[in-house]
Amino acid sequence: MARRIDVTGAGGVRLAAWDFAEPPKAEPHEAGRDPAGHGQGTPGVLLLHGLMGRASHWAEVARRLAGRHRAVALDQRGHGRSEKPPQADYTREAYVEDAEAAVEQLGLAPAVLIGHAMGALTAWQLAAKRPDLVRGVIIFDMRASALGAASQRDWADWFRAWPVPFATLADVRKWFGEDDPWVERPHPARGAFYAEVMQECEDGWRPVFDPERMLRSRETWVYDAHWEELAQVRCPALVVRALDGELGRAEAQEMVRVLPRGEYAEVDAGHLAHYDHPEGWRSVVEPFLDALAED
């Protein structure tokens, strides 16, 4: 079972981090141990979910990684069990500073950052900003190109289409897995993915996040390209493309070219491969992690 450890993020926002490693027998206050009680030399991994995600989406991957790494998944600001202050900063800088705080406060450095979608952008931006904290980056299904105003409008329209509140969790699973206009074919795992980010309210089931804050978060990066920051990532970096995902092969390979120490991998799955195809996802990232451990 994962243990919660609170982290103080940018602007004092309280963030929930989830440590999937088995707690050691030694006392956590012993010298040479991090705040969770792990000894020095245990490779640290910070898992960063995408927009609307939560740390629990990494659970299956994190449990497997915990056999050889100290695997910690972070609920980013406005998501999961982390605080969601209405007036908080939801800029790129805030998300990156939160991840920076997690690495430092949890004693993970030099960490491997593993990010999905928006979380991948956070990962490579932190690696560019603080190379001393990062030993490697895995970028999963996130584009470096600007997505533009049309993309932001589509997302706003999509949020408005949600039939909230949902009467039951079964209704959540059915809508996101079958009825959502963005679903091309039935996708039960997608329904389960979104069921995990719902909470029961007096009138039914609603998302744990505020959709307006999600749009605010998104608008801070969709209008800009992020190639320059990729070029500043000096540590080894693996770009993982889902064959049925959001990142095209040409752009993925260009990202690898721009990264000073970039590598490329593909997984035969969709945008949620780490969640609905964890075995296949791990099969393409574990060789990269093994190579980092040998450095």
Give me the residue spans of the domains in the chain. Answer: 3-21+40-145+225-294, 148-210
* pLDDT tens digits, 175-226: 999 999 999 999 999 999 999 999 999 999 999 999 999 999 999 999 999 9
> For residue 25, what pLDDT is reported?
47
Asked if the model's pLDDT at residue 285 lies above 50, the reply is yes
The pTM of the full predicted model, rounded to 2 decimals, is 0.94
Predicted confidence band of residue 294 (pLDDT cuts 50, 70, 90): confident
What architecture is domain 3-21+40-145+225-294?
3-Layer(aba) Sandwich (3.40)
Which one is predicted more confidently, 32 or 214? 214
* pLDDT tens digits, 37-87: 454 567 899 999 999 999 999 999 999 999 999 999 999 999 999 999 988
SS3 track for the chain: CCEEEEEECHHHCEEEEEECCCCCCCCCCCCCECCCCCECCCCEEEEECCCCCCHHHHHHHHHHHCCCCEEEEEECCCCCCCCCCCCCCCCHHHHHHHHHHHHHHCCCCCEEEEEECHHHHHHHHHHHHCHHHEEEEEEECCCCCCCHHHHHHHHHHHHHHCCCCECCHHHHHHHHHHHCCCCCCCCHHHHHHHHCCEEEECCEEEECCCHHHHHHHHHCCCCCCCHHHHHCCCCCEEEEEEEECCCCHHHHHHHHHHCCCEEEEEEEEECCHHHHCHHHHHHHHHHHHHHHHHC
